[in-house]
């Protein structure tokens, strides 16, 4: 082997390994095929995430953070510049050390971040030593917004006598603060007014029944819900909403007659269909839950009838068959009222019907005399003298016995 061949072999052995640190090409190693790579020194910007707190009021600029190039050997050898949103007005930079300051009060709810660009320039050559780099300053939230119920005031309806725990409605508050940072937008709901009838779930705002309530006692409730941010901790802000809750009616009350005894009268001359009087049962429910039907029970149902006035819910007693004073002078009726629509939930509590007595007196009328027979057949001999007796007819007064006719 000559000298030149040996020298070439030695140069190949001392060549740099053809890959950058931390980078391996498994295929190249497996195949035994070396490839050429350029070794370079990594340089660049050095900074931490930048935040500026909103609502800060200060007479002097407030420090935000520092930009720095790793090419800087000491403060002052590089000049730092800042461009982009708010550069030179809202944000300023110390050109010697790259420290950034905010000069104005910020509002995260109006603008949550600012996009800026930084440049590092060599003071001697006035040439950039780094590529211009873009970065973001985020506005850090403070608790400066109280919760608001944007959909209020609320109105809800729930059936009366609903069991404890029944969901009534849900209220939702919103908070303009940042939900991703801190507890400024973390809300808790509580009941300011409405105990002991209602409750509210602290995290969801769902309002529930806390006890059974009777619409006939009170049919409307005003509930006040409060929402507090910061999980209700010290310094929390709050907002309230009103919820009007109406109890809708259910058929939980039976009809009740106003009287245990009604008295009426009818003339024996009255025609069929004559109105004798009215009975009335009260029902504390409303609407169709108060609708009722009246009946007459017993043997008198073939002489009298009762119908329901659907507008007034009264029972109207009618004459169904002619009556006779001389045959029967007093009738005692058993009238019954029943709810037209019955709620199965309350069937076992009490009967949804009621009864009363109606006494009807038959009044006498001045009736004409009535002949004993409808017709008479008489005979008389021819040639009878004037004044001869032909026969006798008889009549009676139906109003009184032995009354002269």
- pLDDT tens for residues 245-288? 999 999 888 999 999 999 999 999 999 999 999 999 999 999 99
Q: Predicted confidence band at 214 (pLDDT cuts at 50, 70, 90)?
A: very high
Mean pLDDT highest for which of 47-61, 88-102, 121-135, 355-369? 88-102
Query: In the predicted model, is pLDDT for residue 8 greater than 80?
Result: no
What is the per-residue pLDDT across 340-353, written as a single tens digit (0 to 9) for each? Answer: 988 777 666 666 89
Angstrom distances, CA of residue 392 to CA of 110, 251, 369, 374, 379: 122, 72, 16, 13, 11
More confident residue, 277 or 24: 277
Whole-angstrom Cα distance, residue 18 to residue 28?
10
pLDDT(332) > 70: yes
108: three-class secondary structure by DSSP: coil
The proportion of the chain whose per-residue pLDDT surpasses 90, expressed as a percent, equals 56
pLDDT at 278: 97
Q: How confident is the model at residue 401 (pLDDT cuts 50, 70, 90)?
A: low
Per-residue pLDDT of 186-200, as tens digits, reads 999 999 999 999 999
pLDDT in tens, 373-400: 889 898 988 888 888 888 898 888 776 6
Residues near 96 by beta carbon (within 8 Å), at least 6 away in sequence: 75, 76, 79, 80
Q: To the nearest whole number, what is the mean pLDDT of the chain?
A: 85
Give, in order, the Cα–Cα distances in Å from 3 to each of 6, 10, 11, 15, 241.
5, 11, 13, 19, 97
If one compares 32 and 304, the residue with the highest pLDDT of the two is 304
Question: Taking residues 328-336, what's their average pLDDT?
Answer: 95
Predicted pLDDT of residue 350: 63
pLDDT at res. 285: 92
Model pLDDT for residues 73-100, shown as the tens digit of each residue:
776 788 999 999 999 999 999 998 889 9
Write down the pLDDT at residue 198. 97
Q: Is 397 or 233 the better-scoring residue by pLDDT?
A: 233
Tokens of 219: 């049919």
Is the CATH number 3.40.50.1010 carried by domain 256-363? no
pLDDT of residue 348: 61
Structure token pair of residue 128 = 């950039």
Mean pLDDT along residues 160-176 = 95
Q: Tell which CATH architecture fits domain 45-140.
A: Sandwich (2.60)
Domain ranges of the chain: 45-140, 154-248, 256-363
- Tokens representing 344? 């199965």
CATH class of 154-248: mainly beta
Tell me, what's the pLDDT at 355?
Answer: 95
Alpha-carbon gap, residue 202 to 196, rounded angstroms: 16
In this structure, of 77-91, 120-134, 163-177, 319-333, the range with the lowest mean pLDDT score is: 120-134
| Mean pLDDT confidence for 126-139 | 89
What pLDDT, on a 0 to 100 scale, did the predictor assign at position 2?
Answer: 46
Average pLDDT over residues 221-240: 92
Residue 122 neighbours by CB under 8 Å, 6+ apart: 77, 78, 79, 128, 129
Q: Which residues are CB-neighbours of 346 under 8 A, at least 6 positions away? A: 250, 251, 252, 352
- For residue range 356-369, list pLDDT tens digits in order: 999 999 998 877 78
Q: What is the pLDDT of residue 58?
A: 86
């Amino acid at each position: 082997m000559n000298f030149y061949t040996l020298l070439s072999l030695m140069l190949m052995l001392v060549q740099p390994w053809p890959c950058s640190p931390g980078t391996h090409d498994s295929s190249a190693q497996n195949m035994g095929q070396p490839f050429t790579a350029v070794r370079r020194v990594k340089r660049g910007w050095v900074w931490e995430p930048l935040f500026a707190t909103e609502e800060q009021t200060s007479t002097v600029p407030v420090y935000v953070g520092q930009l720095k190039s790793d090419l800087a050997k000491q403060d002052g050898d590089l000049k730092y510049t800042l461009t982009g949103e708010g550069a030179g007005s809202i944000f300023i930079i110390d050109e010697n050390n790259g420290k950034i300051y905010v000069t104005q009060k910020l509002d995260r709810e109006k603008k949550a971040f600012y996009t800026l660009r930084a440049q590092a320039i060599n003071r001697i050559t006035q040439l950039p030593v780094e590529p211009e780099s873009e970065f973001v300053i985020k506005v850090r939230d403070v608790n400066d917004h109280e919760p608001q119920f944007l959909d209020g005031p609320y109105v809800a309806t729930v059936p009366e006598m609903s069991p404890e725990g029944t969901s009534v409605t849900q209220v939702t508050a919103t908070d303009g603060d940042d939900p991703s940072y801190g507890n400024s937008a973390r809300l808790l709901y509580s009941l300011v007014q409405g105990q002991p009838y209602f409750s509210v779930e602290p995290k969801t705002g769902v309002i529930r029944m806390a006890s059974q309530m009777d619409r006939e006692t009170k049919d409307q409730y005003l509930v006040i819900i409060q929402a507090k941010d910061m999980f209700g901790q010290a310094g929390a802000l709050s907002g309230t909403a009103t919820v009007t809750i109406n109890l809708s009616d259910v058929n939980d009350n039976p009809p009740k007659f106003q009287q245990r005894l009604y008295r009426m009268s009818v003339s024996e001359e009255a025609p069929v269909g004559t109105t004798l009087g009215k009975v009335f049962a009260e029902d504390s429910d409303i609407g169709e839950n108060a609708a009722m039907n009246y009946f007459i029970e017993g043997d008198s149902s073939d002489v009298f009838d009762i119908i329901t006035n659907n507008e007034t819910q009264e029972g109207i007693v009618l004459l169904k068959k002619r009556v006779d004073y001389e045959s029967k002078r007093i009738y005692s009726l058993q009238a019954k009222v029943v709810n037209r629509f019955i709620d199965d939930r309350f069937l076992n509590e009490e009967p949804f019907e009621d009864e009363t007595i109606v006494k009807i007196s038959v009044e006498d009328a001045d009736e004409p005399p009535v002949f004993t027979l409808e017709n008479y057949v008489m005979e008389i001999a021819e040639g009878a003298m004037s004044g001869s007796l032909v026969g006798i007819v008889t009549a009676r007064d139906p109003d009184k016995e032995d009354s002269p006719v």
